Structures are given as structure tokens and as C-alpha cells.
Amino acid sequence: MSILNKYFNTTYNTAPFSKIKTEDFLPAFKVAIEKAKSEINAIVNNSEVASFENTIEALDYSGEELDRISSIFFNLNSAETDDAIQKTAQEVSPLLSEFSNDIMLNEELFKRVKAVYEQKPELELTTEQETLLDKKYKSFSRNGANLAEDEKEKLRDIDKELSQLKLKFGEHILAETNKFEMLLTDEEDLSGMPDGAKEAAKQLAENKGKDGWLITLDYPSYIPFMTYVDSRQLREKLSKAFGSKGFKGDELDNQNIILKIANLRHKRAQLLGYKSHAHFVLEERMAKTPDNVHNFLKELLEKAKSASEKEFQNLEKFAKDLDGIEQLQKWDSGYYSEKLKKELYSFDDEQLKPYFKLENVINGAFTVAKKLFGLHFEEINTIDKYHEDVLTYKVIDDSGNLVSIFYADFFPRSGKRNGAWMTSFKPQMIKEGQNHRPHISIVCNFTKPTKSKPSLLTFNEVTTLFHEFGHALHGMLANTTYPSLSGTSVYWDFVELPSQILENWCYEEETLKLFATHYKTGEIIPMELIEKIKTSATFHEGMQTLRQLSFGMLDMAWHANELPETITSVKDFETKAFAGTNLYPEVKENCMSTAFAHIFQGGYSSGYYSYKWAEVLDADAFEYFKEEGIFNKTVANKFKAFVLSQGGTENPMTLYKRFRGQEPKPEALLRRSGLLK
């Protein structure tokens, strides 16, 4: 009996979290892998001549059961993990890596795919089918199908080791985050900290049976402390703890792990005929080559460098005049930036937070989605959750048709990694005439409600929620035939467009008046504060841009490197990569690479530049909305029709031009950032 039929006989075919035990996963994976293998064998052993339907289409629909189990398991490993799940992940990952290679290195299967590919000019395929055929053929050729047998074995070994190393990297970061606690028993040490953050720290200590105030490396604890606490010594302590994750030379050290990852990725790329891992990755990106990425980053660096240096000098002068600080350090950044912003604009985040109660912001995001795309969100409590904090919704359109199931998980806990992300529990596809709707999730780490206050968000958290919700809309509104082309399955440097464009609505009066109401009085956010949000939007934009560019440059330094085996010191290598973007003095105890999960655990290797790349797209796209009205249905329908619903069915620039009528212009981003002279 199919695992999906046995366990997933649920409302809307949702994941049956309450029925699944951790020990169920390994046997379930083994059964699903065997089933997927039999589906592949059926394609290979088909006596009929290879066709698009019996080979390419059949291949894309194969492994559905395995994909569902994988999505549930690895999402839990990110959002609700424990030792048992992590142990299972280490056992499962090599099995999945081996299975993936079994497919990609299957000569008979590749022959059938190649036979269809060579017929392409004679086949009457839709645009989506052509894209799928190209993608399937390239997935084989780019993953070793043309290699000799001994080289295929080398590739298998590399992939197996990489899958385990990436997991171990993430486990170390989570363990480091959970391990650090700073218990303060003297309230004077919290001088400057807002009452809400102080209360949260008190409650955190109480929850662990301790007296005092507990500070951790989770963002809702870390950020307020670094932004507001007057004690420079304690800020330094916390900053160094945060910045030294995976860099202490102990059992949780990641230095050797990332050296191995960089070397294995390079060996893999060379085995496949590429100069570097970046050359391999970027072949399937809008940017195409490492040179194009380097030139893009360099061009933005030239625009941002002088502005960032001027901003830094002003910040240095401000700190010196205020507190006699002779040399600004990294742990001074948030603290003095917030004070300077308050002086320049006569407001700070604490004034804004009462207007951003989490529930109101969620409803704000839903209202924007309704006004733009005709979506309605109904909270439902009849489906399983993996944690009691998770909120669940049914999403329908104006006609009452099911669009998606939506999960939202907002608060930090020990089994959850830091940061914010969007993911999926079930993909969208059209199969046997039925449009299977997706199950989408967003995961964040916002401040939990306390005894006296609800969860009140900083403005940065508001934009984070809208950002992840933008990714979610990309998943929810997917409307493609094939699962591998659906939703966010697009070129990596296009995937951030739907998320980043949605952030723009957070700065608009028309939007803020929909949901930014004081949690006590119900008063709509005053126009004066809206103006301050807008005028302060470009505050320290030069420094922020420089920071983002430095991360992209570090990523490219690791992955466009043609001699990674010569790297002996992670710290020295990183310092050299950051040389052109440093404003603050180097901190010898800290290393970013050892905790850079985006590129060593997630999917952003050779792709971190895409955040800035997508900013060019989103700034240009939002100018179109501004010209016609930010809730203009015609523009919104075009964005939905040509971007959000199309997934990876066509080249992203083709889709963008269909929406916008032109290629994106970087001037829009420079205008928005205040960097255009």
C-alpha cells in the first residue's frame, strides 16, 4: 500500500504530522526510494520508442511519494529538529544522494532522454514542454551522464560526502546558537534596552528556571541587545559570540568542513568539465558567468563605496561627539546607527513597534494579496501542525476555488534554525487533468508575546514577513503542468523578485493605513511616522549595500576560485575577500564563512549576488506599479500572469519583459537607494 494513501488520507491531502514518528522516516524513505526506482525502471524498460510523454513527462512525475516524504522530513529538520531527526538526516542523505546519482548516471535512461532531445525540432511541443525537455537533458549532461564509469563513481562519492558535510555544517550552527546563553542578574546591565525586549529576556530566563534576564543568539534576543544596550563591553561579548559560530576550534568547528565543501564542489565541477563550481552553477542562471557576476558586483561597489565611506565617517564623528569613541567597532554599529537615525529623523523602531502587532501585519499581508491578486485567507484548525505555534490557512480565490494551503511559523525555539525562509510541503502540478494545489510554508524568528505585550515587530521584521510572503505567493499562485517547473523552481537570480518586490508595499501610506494600528488604542499609524519611515528608508543605504556586496564577493571568492586546495586558513582567505569592503576593524575571534549557511548549507553557493540582482528587477518592477497605482489590477494581473504563475516555464528575462514591456534598468534601484547622483 502506498505510504501516501496510508498516511495522507487527510483533508486537502495535508501532511499528517501527528501520525508520523521520527523512527518512521528511515523505513518510509527506503520504501519510497524503491518505488521511485521501479517508476524509473518502467520508463527505461518501456518497449515503445522514446517519446516526450513516456520518457520526459513520465520522469518528471516520477518519485512523487519520495518528494513528499523528503519535503516533510527536511522541513522538520530546519524548523523542528532534535538529535533523533539529525541522526536520521545523516542516514537518509547518502541514500538520497545515491538514488539521485542512480538516475543521473543511468545510461539507458539517458539514451531515451537524449533520443527525445534529438527529435525536438520535429516534435510539436508547447513552450513549457520545450523548457522541460531542455531541463531534463541538461540535468543529465550537467550531472555526469557523459562521464566514463570510473568518473561516475568519483561523482557518486563526492555527492554522498557533500550531502553529509552540509548537514553537519548546519547541525554545528544550530548547536552553537542553542549552546550560548548570557544570563544577566544586574538590571543595570540592560540599561538602554526597551521594556518589551527586557520583559522577553526576563520571561526567557523564567522559562529555563533562572533568575535574571537571559540573552541568546536568536535574532529576537540578539538584535535588540546589540541595538539598544548601553554597555559596550556586553555588546562586544555578544557580538563575538555571534560572530564566532563554527570558529572556535572545538567539536562544533566548521573550518575543515567548509574547506572540504569548497574542494569537493571544485572537484565535482572539474570532473564535469567546468573551470570552477561558479562556472558550473552560473551556466543555469541569468548572470551566466562568474565574470558577469564580478562585473555586476564591481559596478554596484563603485556606486556605493563613496556613499558608504561618507556614512561611516559621519557615524564615527557622531559616536565620538556623543561618547568619546575613538574607534568604532562592529559591536557599535547597530547601537550608534539607531541613535543617529533617531537624531536625524526624530524617531526609532520602538516608536513604530506598537503599530506592528504581528497579527495585524499578517492581516496586512493578506489584505495586500487580496487587493492585488484576489486571494482570501481563512484560518483553519482541522489540519495537522508540526508545532502548536504554527498557524494554518486555506487560501481561496474570488470564486471560492482552492488556491493553496498555507502554514506560518513565526517564533524561535531550540529545534529551529535562525533566519527566515519559505518552503513547500507539496508542489503544484497538473496531472491526469487535475490541478494539484500546493502546500506552502513560511518560517520566521520574531519576538514571542510576553505576559504584558503581544508580539510587536520592528519595521525590519515587517519587511521580512512581507519578503517571505512574497516567496509564498510565488508558490501559491503557481499554475504549471510539471512539478519541476512550478512555483519557485526558477533561475536562482530570479527567485528573489517576487519576495523583494512585496517589501515595497511596506513603505507606502496606502498600505500602512490598512494594517498599522496601535495595539492598545487602535489608532492608525500617524502620517508623520509614515513620512519618517519613507524619508529614513535610505538611511545608511551605502553601508547596507556594501555589506550585501561583501557577502556576494565572499561567496564568489569561495566558489569561483580555481585553486581552492591552496586555501589553508579560512580566516586569512576571508579577510582577503573582504579587503575592498571593510569599514570596521577586523575582529580576530570572528569568521563569517564558518556560519555562512546560505552558501554552505542552503542553495546560494555562487548565488548570493542574486539578492542585489533581484533588487534591480524589483525596483524597476515597482516603478511600474507606482506609475499606474500600487494596487492597480491591470499591473497586478500582468505580474501574476507573467511572473508568479509561470514558474520556470520560460527564460526569466522573457517573462519579465512580457510583464514590464522592457528589460530592467538599474537606475530604478539607484534612485530608490539614493545612490544616483
Q: Which domains can be identified in the chain, with CATH numbers?
A: 3-104+106-146 (1.20.1050.40), 180-243 (no CATH), 255-325+545-610 (no CATH), 354-537 (1.10.1370.40)
pLDDT exceeds cutoff 50 at 33: yes
Closest CA to 353 of 540, 228, 504, 207: 228
What confidence category does residue 387 fall into, taking pLDDT thresholds of 50, 70 and 90? Answer: very high
Grid cell for residue 311: 556614512
pLDDT(348) > 90: no
Note the pLDDT of residue 127: 97
Q: What values do phi and psi take at 318, rounded to 5?
A: -60, -45
- Segment 17-41 shows an average pLDDT of 95
Taking only the tens place, the pLDDT of each residue in 198-246 is 999 999 999 999 999 999 999 999 999 999 999 999 999 999 999 999 9
Supply the pLDDT for residue 1. 41
CA 240, 241, 242, 246 dihedral sign is positive
pLDDT, tens digit (0-9, with 9 covering 90-100), for 544-562: 999 999 999 999 999 999 9
- The pair phi, psi for residue 509, each rounded to 5°, is -55, -45
What percent of the chain has a predicted confidence (pLDDT) above 70? 99
Radius of gyration for the chain, computed over Cα atoms and rounded to the nearest angstrom:
25
**pLDDT over 50 at 155, yes or no:** yes
Average pLDDT rounded to a whole number, residues 505-513: 96
Q: Which of 120, 96, 83 is nearest to 36 (CA)?
A: 96
Q: Which one of the listed residues 57, 176, 468, 503 is annotated catalytic?
A: 468
| Among 491, 574, 651, 23, residue whose Cα is nearest residue 244 | 574
How many Cβ atoms sit within 10 Å of the Cβ of residue 114?
17
Q: How confident is the model at residue 667 (pLDDT cuts 50, 70, 90)?
A: confident
Q: What is the pLDDT of residue 669?
A: 87
Q: Give me the pLDDT at residue 5, please.
A: 57
For all residues of the chain together, what is the average pLDDT? 95
pLDDT at 673: 85
Give yes or no for residue 395 having a pLDDT over 50: yes
Q: Is the pLDDT of residue 249 over 50?
A: yes
- Is-catalytic flag, 468? yes
Q: Which residue has cell 510587536?
A: 456
> What are the φ/ψ torsions at residue 422 (nearest 5 degrees)?
-115, 145
pLDDT over 60 at 423, yes or no = yes
Q: What is the pLDDT of residue 2?
A: 54
Please, is 208 exposed, middle or buried when counting C-beta atoms within 10 Å of its C-beta (0-12, 13-18, 19+)?
exposed
User: What is the distance, to the nearest Å, from the Cα of residue 400 to the centroid of all Cα atoms in its chain?
Assistant: 30
* Predicted confidence (pLDDT) per residue in 285-329, tens digit: 999 999 999 999 999 999 899 999 999 999 999 999 999 999 999
The pLDDT tens digits of the residues spanning 603-654 come to 899 999 999 999 999 999 999 999 999 999 999 999 999 999 999 999 999 9
